[in-house]
Structure 1
Amino acid sequence: MNTQHQQRNPVLLVHGINDTGAVFNKMARYLRQEGWSVYTLDLLPNNGAGLLDQLAQQVANYVSTNFEPKQPLDLLGFSMGGIVSRYYVQRLGGIKKVQRFITISSPHQGTVVAYGSWLSGCVQMRPNSPLIKDLNSDVEMLKQLNFTSIWTPYDLMILPAKSSQMPIGKEVILPVALHPWMLKDSRTLAVVAKALAEPINTYPQSGYVPNSQKSPLDSDNT
């Protein structure tokens, strides 16, 4: 992969429920070896007891503390972290700072697994929750940046798995067996690196990438 002439923004990785930034250890190590500056944070509480919009404020605070005001940023959110990151981008001004935005196995349309808990953050991840509806009401604003959704059809945490689909940006489907394995699978790491190396604003402005069409991101994942 020849990315030496591409603009390398710092990359912030946002973890999911019951995780910490350490869940990205393999991915962070891989990306650093490829030349990126990688940052992680620990959301508190991380067990779904906190409202996702309040966790998003932690992301906003981390960004304002660790990056210069004019420093562009690339953002990746895993699972719940993808929704937290969306709230930061769509509601807390992140759209002005983030240039590339990647989600991995995130419940963009909610997940029925969230019905198993009454913790406030879990309730917000239920299908058709007020927060999910709110973020999807103006999802078109994400066309302003490079957006990629990566997901597996075998996910047992995001149900239905196609809840990770978005009507904008680029979609990459990887046949990874389990939800947590998405962060360690070599195919995921390669797709993430390619997405982070893409020139800004080259993605399709609307519609999914049909499964029958190979994309530049998954061309070597067969």
Structure 2
Amino acid sequence: MTAAALAASSPRLAPVEQRVPVLLVHGIGDDASAFDLLRRRLEREGWPHVHAVSMVPNNGSEGIPVLARQVAREAEALRARTGARRVDVVGFSMGALVTRYWVQLLGGRLVVRRFVSISGPHSGTGLAFLGRGKGVAQMRPGSRLLRALQQDPRPWGSTEVHSFWTPLDLTILPASSSRLPGASERTFPVLLHPWMLTDPRVLDSVVDVLGSPAVAR
């Protein structure tokens, strides 16, 4: 039996034909290859359409809104290629904040079915005070951009939101900044920030969340 057939028959996952395309949004200093392990895992589990974005620039020199518009264009292209009405999105680190900005402020909530944030700096990170660049400054605690996101009274619309993070994170300071209001939350005892994209428990949880049958809302 093929991996797709096994996934389709698994009682914990929705049938393959019910799964929507998945967009993967990387963090600062990374590119699409940061998601190679997760992308391959989803494809083995039977997802027919998984696309990882490479944002430019990737070093935090450009602002979060500019990067969010890139993600919006990638999502529209993915929908056009697949004919899907909605997509699921997994964002890691800065990519989770970029995705949040798109979902909340650029209309992403209309097309995103499920958003999984992995170790995103949603309340900022003290480490950003050590760096330069527009995007880096916007990740500092108390930045204007973060305040605008936090003041949104109805941030998600019909988008289902999940926050995965590790209390041991030394890149997101404090680690609890990865908590996301209105999100279902899972924590993992992962020692290093980048390992959140390779830890089997995190990958299992992404598969579980994205593959769970849709609930009528």
CA distance in structure 1 between the aligned counterparts of 2:136 and 2:109, rounded to whole angstroms: 25
Matches within 5 A, 1:90-169: 90-138=104-152, 140-142=154-156, 144-169=158-183
Shift of 1:140: 3.3
Shift of 1:118: 2.5
Q: Which has the higher helix share?
A: 2
Is the 2:21–2:78 Cα contact (8 Å) retained in structure 1?
A: no
Question: 1:63 pairs with 68, 71, 75, which one?
Answer: 75
Q: Which residues of structure 1 form unaligned runs of 5+? A: 204-222
Is the 1:89–1:98 Cα contact (8 Å) retained in structure 2?
A: yes
**What TM-score, normalized to structure 1?**
0.86
Q: Deviations over 1:119-153 (max 9, x none)?
A: 11100000110111111111632252211000001
Aligned partner of residue 154 in structure 2, secondary structure: helix
Aligned partner of residue 156 in structure 2, secondary structure: helix
Is the 2:61–2:134 Cα contact (8 Å) retained in structure 1?
A: yes
Equivalent position of 1:22 in the other structure: 33
Shift of 1:89: 0.8
Aligned partner of residue 9 in structure 1, secondary structure: coil
Is the 2:25–2:52 Cα contact (8 Å) retained in structure 1?
A: yes
* Pair 1:187–1:139, CA change in 2 (3 A): farther
Shift of 1:45: 0.4
Q: Within the alignment, does 1:32 sit opposite 2:18 as a pair?
A: no
* Pair 1:74–1:170, CA change in 2 (3 A): same
Q: CA RMSD in A?
A: 1.7
CA distance in structure 1 between the aligned counterparts of 2:76 and 2:28, rounded to whole angstroms: 23
CA distance in structure 2 between the aligned counterparts of 1:124 and 1:200, rounded to whole angstroms: 34
CA distance in structure 2 between the aligned counterparts of 1:167 and 1:49, rounded to whole angstroms: 27
CA distance in structure 1 between the aligned counterparts of 2:52 and 2:122, rounded to whole angstroms: 21
**What TM-score, normalized to structure 2?**
0.88
Q: Within the alignment, does 1:5 sit opposite 2:15 as a pair?
A: yes
Count of aligned residue pairs for this structure pair: 203
Aligned partner of residue 168 in structure 1, secondary structure: coil
Shift of 1:93: 1.2
CA distance in structure 1 between the aligned counterparts of 2:140 and 2:14, rounded to whole angstroms: 42
Is the 2:138–2:144 Cα contact (8 Å) retained in structure 1?
A: yes
Is the 1:48–1:120 Cα contact (8 Å) retained in structure 2?
A: yes
CA distance in structure 2 between the aligned counterparts of 1:98 and 1:145, rounded to whole angstroms: 6
* Pair 1:139–1:180, CA change in 2 (3 A): farther
Equivalent position of 2:57 in the other structure: 45
